[in-house]
Amino acid sequence: MGYAILIFLILLILGMPVAFSIGISGLSFFLIRDLPMAVLVQKSISTTQSFTMLAIPLFILAGNLMNSTGITKKLMKLANICTGHMYGNIGQVSCLLSTLMGGVSGSAVADAAMECRILGPEMNRLGYKKGWSAAINGLSGLIVATIPPSMGLIIYGTVGEVSIGRLFMAGWVPGVLMCIFLMIATSWSAKLYGYKPEHDRPASMGEIGKAALDSIWALIFPIMLIILIRFGIMSPSESGAFACVYALIVGMFIYKELSWKGFIKTLQDSVKDITVITIILAFSGIFGYGVVFDDLTTSIATFMVGITGNSTILLIMVILFLLFCGMFMETTVIALILTPILLPVMQSVGVDPVVFGMIMMTCVTFGVMTPPVGTALYTVSDIMDCPIEETVRYGWPFYLAVIMVVVFMIFFPQAILWLPNLVYGVAT
């Protein structure tokens, strides 16, 4: 498997698309070991045939539908009313909107791009530095790494055989905490750069209540999602199908903003997004077979436990490794390849799989805003028309806020498990 990993890294450095880098390196493993090609075909197909994985394309379609139905505009209005009295209030809107949209989009890159397109012009009008605007829009998008229905959590839960319901419940504490820390960082940096509030006083409860009522169909969606999964009414995949129907009904009959032309455009965008993820899923099945065949998990676990038996130190080592991987590989790829390798190692030293899932997905999603391959970093910088160096330079308070959330999860794991244990009971 060592040769296959080396080939994968070389192809990645040479700039080959990630999906094909995985596929070619997986093929090389089969050729070197002289394994039947029939197994290669079976593994590439079987990985995409998982019923649980069906949740991913369904939630992608649901998220795109909700962006086309006016739900995003309603949520932005609510967020603006709640934060208009704060320093850098449009940056505050970005944080709050990401938290509200976490249960809708499920994708950090999609969320960051959407917010830059919607909030960017207003930020420019108010005189915010373009790098600052790009940084907060991009890093606030990381909130969707844990707020359900996170695509990363679905992949992690499926590959690692961890309860997706418990993962969804656990995601609320770090997600809300990240929102709070980012809002504090936004307020501090906005004061530093002189981005004053638009309103002199906080909105009244009546104004907030009216805006919340306008957004009620978006606000109740994640709550409905949790209830449906918790009480066994629907599986995660079935709830994804429900989300698509829900978005269509809201867009066509309640808000009446989804046109036929908009619907076709949404389908086209969803097909592009789903195709990329499906190719990566298929080829990762080949790579994953090599990991199991060579018993790489046991070798790595033995090596790492040999370095230290302290679970906290080992967890910090793994986090640094995940942050490094996130700089070069996409979130989906890391979750598919490293979950079956690292999860058994963490469990062997007593780290709860749900807590590790929260930490892992936060760290690898952090990579979408770090050079050299951060997809969200390039996306938001391009939309805001600024160099990535400027985005990184203005973004350091927000990077620090995300790191503080990771530190909290390391040292206070019971806080992460509070909601899952409350709803599902303590895991045995």
| Each residue's pLDDT tens digit, 98-116 | 787 665 555 666 667 777 7
Q: How far is 143 from 11, CA to CA, in rounded Å? A: 31
For residue range 166-188, list pLDDT tens digits in order.
998 899 899 999 999 999 999 99
DSSP 327: T
Which residue, 113, 88, 263, 266, is CA-closest to 188? 88
Checking if the pLDDT of 134 tops 70, the result is: yes
pLDDT at 297 (0 to 100): 62
What is each CA distance from 10 to 7, 24, 25, 370, in whole angstroms? 5, 11, 10, 20
Q: Which of 104-108, 178-182, 252-256, 371-375 has the highest mean pLDDT?
A: 178-182
Residue ranges of E strands in 144-219 = none
Q: How far is 130 from 135, CA to CA, in rounded Å? A: 9
Q: Is the separation of the CB atoms in 190 and 88 below 8 Å?
A: yes
Give the amino acid at 58.
L
pLDDT at 423 (0 to 100): 84
Give the amino acid at 372.
P
Please give the backbone phi and psi of residue 104, each rounded to the nearest 5 degrees, phi first. Answer: -115, -55
Q: Is the separation of the CB atoms in 160 and 340 below 8 Å?
A: yes
Q: Is the separation of the CB atoms in 395 and 139 below 8 Å?
A: yes
Give the amino acid at 229.
I
What DSSP line would sit under 64-128, residue for residue?
Answer: HHHHHTTHHHHHHHHHHHHHTTSTTHHHHHHHHHHHHHTTTT--HHHHHHHHHHHHHHHHHHTT-
> Could you tell me the end-to-end alpha-carbon distance of the chain, in angstroms, rounded to an integer?
34
Which residue, 335, 355, 319, is CA-closest to 167? 355
Q: How far is 381 from 366, CA to CA, in rounded Å? A: 16
Alpha helix (H) residue ranges in 14-70: 18-33, 37-46, 55-68
For residue range 42-77, list pLDDT tens digits in order.
888 877 777 666 777 877 787 778 777 777 677 777
| Neighbouring C-beta atoms of residue 132, cutoff 10 Å | 27
Q: How far is 234 from 172, CA to CA, in rounded Å? A: 20
Which residue, 285, 369, 270, is CA-closest to 326? 369
Tokens 């129907």 label which residue? 245
Q: How far is 386 from 383, CA to CA, in rounded Å? A: 8
Q: How far is 379 from 368, CA to CA, in rounded Å? A: 10
What is each CA distance from 135 to 73, 362, 391, 422, in whole angstroms? 21, 17, 5, 35
Confidence at 409, pLDDT banded by 50, 70, 90: very high
Least confident of 2-16, 61-75, 105-119, 322-336: 105-119
Checking if the pLDDT of 156 tops 80, the result is: yes
Confidence at 298, pLDDT banded by 50, 70, 90: low
The fraction of the chain above a pLDDT of 70, given in percent, is: 91
Q: Is the separation of the CB atoms in 151 and 60 below 8 Å?
A: yes
For residues 211-237, give the mean pLDDT.
Answer: 75
Higher-confidence residue of 136 and 151: namely 136
Residue 199 has, within 13 A of its CA and on its CB side, a CA count of 13
Q: How far is 51 from 226, CA to CA, in rounded Å? A: 19
Q: How far is 197 from 84, CA to CA, in rounded Å? A: 6
pLDDT at 108 (0 to 100): 67
Please give the backbone phi and psi of residue 402, each rounded to the nearest 5 degrees, phi first. Answer: -65, -40
Checking if the pLDDT of 125 tops 60, the result is: yes
Checking if the pLDDT of 220 tops 70, the result is: yes
Structure tokens at 147: 């707020």
Q: What is the mean pLDDT of the chain?
A: 82
What lies within 8 Å, CB to CB, of 261 at 6+ separation is none
Q: Is the separation of the CB atoms in 45 and 227 below 8 Å?
A: no
Q: Is the separation of the CB atoms in 288 and 340 below 8 Å?
A: yes
Higher-confidence residue of 354 and 258: namely 354
pLDDT at 372 (0 to 100): 64
